[in-house]
Structure formats: C-alpha cells, structure tokens
Amino acid sequence: MAKPNYSFEKRQRELAKKKKQDEKDAKKRAERDAAKGTADPEQNSGSESA
C-alpha cells in the first residue's frame, strides 16, 4: 500500500484557500466599483465631455 502524500494534500488545501480568498476579494472589488459607479455619475459624464 502506498504512503499518503501529506505535502500534496497540504498544497491542495492551500490552493483552495487562496482561490476562495481571491474570489472573495474579487467580489468585494466588484461591489466597491458598483457603489463607486452609482455614487459619482456626474464626475464620469464630466470627464467624457472634457
């Protein structure tokens, strides 16, 4: 019977944790951008005409 490869399992857990954190950061960034876009509509239209 083969030995368990604990290093591989640990690496997989770390990758899963990093992926989850990246998704969480992306979601926060999207929410922040959406809130920023709705809060400053005049500023965006002003920069287009300049």
What is the rounded (10 degree) CA torsion for 11, 13, 15, 21?
-150
Q: How far is CA 6 from the centre of its chain?
A: 28
Q: What is the pLDDT of residue 36?
A: 84
- The pLDDT tens digits for 4-49 are 999 999 999 999 999 999 999 999 999 999 888 776 555 555 555 5
- Cα–Cα distance measured from residue 21 to residue 25, given in angstroms and rounded to the nearest whole number: 6
pTM of the model: 0.59
